[in-house]
Homo-oligomer: A and B are copies of this chain.
């Protein structure tokens, strides 16, 4: 319970702490090595707490002293907290300006063995915005598990966390997954989208267990993964524009499943 008024200003250890935070912000390798992620701002920390994650330590912006949501959040925390001068915080953050609070939190581990009703498999996704958007969409559409290949951008990077808007904590996230093994073992519909797919998404039965595979922004889904799906599926596009980006395609696919299940439920 780090009450705001009892927080101590970081002084002697200051520089080392700022350096450690900078490394956690900037380096996926450092985040993995330390088994940590850095949550920036009240909203993300709130979502993590609600899902049972426990920060190791928080760093608070003295300029946010009168922020009521911040004070409410602090009262729910059970870890050490320190004030860090706004100038130092703004050098550390990935945001345009210093957040009210930063939390160092152990990287979540998936803790789950049952097969998901709806799984999202991501192969070598590189763009943090796409990755976060897909997680957000998966969580909204009720998908339970997301599997990421080794070639994906770090799913717990500041940008992905920001774009995910807390969705990370509503999902089981499996990193460095063997997508071929996951897809092969999956009992249910297997949907791999491709621009030149032969089957319209809208004709595939998605009311049961479903695994969706989305591929790299440039290369799409690899042939070896495609071979594990019964058919290549396309999203019909009547317009003249180029294809949707992968986050939009995932949105269409995941919500087509929502629609079909709603229709099936009457």
Note all chain B residues with C-beta closer than 8 A to A259. Answer: 202, 236, 256, 259
Note all chain B residues with C-beta closer than 8 A to A248. Answer: 133, 136-137, 247-248, 251
Note all chain B residues with C-beta closer than 8 A to A252. Answer: 251-252, 255
- Complex CA gap A170/B241 in Å reads 7
Contact indicator B140/A243 (Cβ below 8 Å): yes
Question: For the complex, is A143 an interface residue (Cβ under 8 Å from B)?
Answer: yes
Query: Which of B139, B237, B255, B258 sits near A140, CB closer than 8 Å?
Result: B237
Query: Which of B170, B238, B245, B258 sits near A141, CB closer than 8 Å?
Result: B238
Contact indicator A244/B239 (Cβ below 8 Å): no
Copies in the complex: 2
Query: Which of B165, B240, B245, B262 sits near A139, CB closer than 8 Å?
Result: B240
Note all chain B residues with C-beta closer than 8 A to A237. Answer: 140-142, 258
Contact indicator A136/B166 (Cβ below 8 Å): no
Question: For the complex, is A181 an interface residue (Cβ under 8 Å from B)?
Answer: no
Q: Which of A230-266 contact B (CB under 8 A)?
A: 235-245, 247-248, 251-252, 255-256, 258-259, 261-263
Q: How far is the CB of A146 from chain B (nearest CB, A)?
A: 12
Main secondary structure of the interface of A (DSSP, over half): helix
- Complex CA gap A251/B256 in Å reads 11
In the complex formed, the residue of B with least CB distance to A167 is: B241
Contact indicator B202/A242 (Cβ below 8 Å): no
Q: How far is the CB of A119 from chain B (nearest CB, A)?
A: 14
Q: How far is the CB of A169 from chain B (nearest CB, A)?
A: 9
Note all chain B residues with C-beta closer than 8 A to A15. Answer: none
Question: For the complex, is A20 an interface residue (Cβ under 8 Å from B)?
Answer: no
Question: For the complex, is A27 an interface residue (Cβ under 8 Å from B)?
Answer: no
Question: For the complex, is A200 an interface residue (Cβ under 8 Å from B)?
Answer: yes
- Complex CA gap A239/B255 in Å reads 11
Query: Which of B140, B243, B262 sits near A244, CB closer than 8 Å?
Result: B140
- Among A139, A247, A251, A256, residue most surrounded by chain B Cβ atoms (within 10 Å): A251
- Complex CA gap A202/B258 in Å reads 10
Contact indicator A140/B251 (Cβ below 8 Å): no
- Among A238, A241, A243, residue most surrounded by chain B Cβ atoms (within 10 Å): A241
Note all chain B residues with C-beta closer than 8 A to A166. Answer: 241-242
Query: With A248-B136, A251-B244, A255-B252 given, is the CB distance from A238 to B142 under 8 Å?
Result: yes
